[in-house]
Structure 1
């Protein structure tokens, strides 16, 4: 939608607006020669097809490679006039709208891929203009075409070329000429804005969603975030955190649930992190921790990017790889010798106690900055998860269409607000991924624009660029198939899509 609206705004001809990828299932036009709105067989995305985007045209649903070396040759007929029907690749009975549309398409193709042929097109346009601007020549031309049925070897339709009526005034002729000349000479930099439009909209949409959710009254769970266990030798133990402590804030940000703590910690892996604690202990027979101090205490620790996995043994010989059964059971009581003790970045187990629902809303002036902060937190958490995964850590939860559909269905059962949040998160991911310099994505197309700029405006061959985008598209489809395979395996095994 971002590409489509931006292209329309800049006056760029949109040939097709498609949901899914070809082959086409159904398409509809609301006006002759207008945009085709289509639904396609491969439901993995969508596209906007614009004139001149790849140096190619689209004719009745088929992609037709233009041949620039023949696109502006003027074929002479029996009246020694150029064959404009052949020039515009339209039939002899073409409507005025078809001629006009073909002309604009040809101009855009010349602007984008054949700038050295611009002078020839201007010369052709100037011939039509001079014929109609001179009263004597115009009268002769009108007499010539008066009783002639236009054909491929008959006089060119100068009026049609300038898109003016037969009885046009000189002012109308001037306006038509200047408009088309401007189209030919226009370098059309607006395509670059269109390339970025999709990702920009993907990134604007979450800001709006989060801001609305923050501004409207909404219920949120809130309770005490409590440390229920501390792993031996972990950053939390070294910082003096103990079981029963309540975490009030992380880096000065107050918490509602232990999910907030996880998000804050994951955003600061490898960096000093401050925990504001209220000391407490667990008493037998009482499930909730009992505070041992009325005040708050601040400790600093560094969450690990790659927490260790320790083998549980009776007697430790290698502390870097092993942990004693006694110490391991203080963290996880059901462990046995030979098991593996796994832990998180801080090395703690968490829980939210005395949870209650509270209603909150924020002013627009506060909601908008909060929405940007929420976006930043999502991006930071994604980056951190990918870094951990690349260094041998757990799967960050990569999912394809199958996994996304499953998660969406589960979240939709919870309520509208969580569903909108999930939609915003997916939109953020799309916005960032689409800007990556990968062929077939917006970032890949933008990469070719940058290369063209670095080459002094000399474009890369449309054939080569098209091949690069085709290969990139096939690789992306292959990646989606692989990820979807693992999503299906998780679905069959009953495992969670998000690890």
Structure 2
């Protein structure tokens, strides 16, 4: 609200980067939401007016099961709008002239109702005439429906119109050509890697909870969740895990590939003279201790989440 965002605005750009979908907006905002800072926003009102605002964010405490950072900042997708689905033959909705695909624009005195608000309004007006305005193939149509009283769970009468109400929201299909897709993949991989390193740094200084370190149990849980959502989400999760493992493996810790690169760098700086066997052995032991400690922490966090 302080940035000038209003209900019904369309977010068209974040920090000068055009966004065409909610996932793109989330990606552009995820780092400033966790690290804090000022983020320029470009907004389009329902009437088509374009304006800019500055979203001032303070660093948020990131927790695996914490609230959505976007919701904490006050940004959320507009609630889905109600659309008439399957009609019960002879029901109040059919008799009122409603058709499958009608979008509810107004019910009673309620403009642009969300699905839940529409259902509650219908249930609260059993046996009473409700004026409706629906959008049908681009035309606004005025109707009137009388919800039929039926016994609710508590025995009290509630209104029913005999129609399945679907929840729908606008969707954007983002298409990229092969070269643009490749470039976006490179950018996303680099941004994810840098963001992972920054989060690790914030863990070391205590700005981010160590509970964010998770292991195989949590990975398996979220793999199952994303697989149920769909192939696209599942492949995205696998890509995220691959990048995280790659970043971890390149850290300058002996026992990891990054540790070997560190030894090679030290050898180059020493004019081609390798470290002594004792120094390499000590480094390997230290690296093994760090890796094992990280594994234990991840498993403890996994089981803590599992049984909490």
Matching of residue 363 in structure 1 with residue 128 in structure 2: no
Q: Secondary structure at the match of 1:267?
A: helix
Matching of residue 420 in structure 1 with residue 174 in structure 2: no
Q: From 40, 45, 59, give the equivalent of 1:274.
A: 40
Q: 1:394 to 1:449 in 2, by over 3 A?
A: closer
Residue deviations 1:225-274, cap 9 Å, x none? xxxxx4xxxxxx1x3334443323212322412x4333212334544422
Q: Secondary structure at the match of 1:300?
A: strand
Match of 2:10 in 1: 246
Q: Secondary structure at the match of 2:295?
A: helix
The answer to whether the 8 Å contact 2:38/2:55 transfers is yes
- Structure 1: state its 5+ residue gaps: 1-229, 231-236, 280-290, 308-340, 494-499
Q: From 282, 295, 305, give the equivalent of 1:480.
A: 295
Q: 1:275 to 1:391 in 2, by over 3 A?
A: farther
Q: From 261, 268, 272, give the equivalent of 1:453.
A: 268
Q: 1:346 to 1:261 in 2, by over 3 A?
A: farther
Matching of residue 347 in structure 1 with residue 73 in structure 2: yes
The number of equivalent residue pairs is: 211
Q: Secondary structure at the match of 2:76?
A: strand
Please, what is the CA RMSD of the aligned residues?
3.1
The answer to whether the 8 Å contact 1:266/1:381 transfers is no
Q: 1:391 to 1:479 in 2, by over 3 A?
A: closer
Q: 1:346 to 1:252 in 2, by over 3 A?
A: farther
The answer to whether the 8 Å contact 1:440/1:473 transfers is yes
Q: 1:361 to 1:274 in 2, by over 3 A?
A: same
The structure whose Rg is larger is: 1
The answer to whether the 8 Å contact 2:42/2:51 transfers is yes
Q: Secondary structure at the match of 1:350?
A: coil
Q: 1:393 and 1:447 mapped to 2: Cα distance?
A: 27
The answer to whether the 8 Å contact 2:11/2:43 transfers is yes
Per the TM alignment, residue 472 of structure 1 is displaced from its structure 2 partner at its CA by: 1.1
Matching of residue 261 in structure 1 with residue 261 in structure 2: no
- Structure 2: state its 5+ residue gaps: 62-66, 81-167
Q: 1:401 and 1:247 mapped to 2: Cα distance?
A: 37
Q: 1:384 to 1:448 in 2, by over 3 A?
A: closer
Q: 1:243 and 1:385 mapped to 2: Cα distance?
A: 32
Per the TM alignment, residue 387 of structure 1 is displaced from its structure 2 partner at its CA by: 5.5
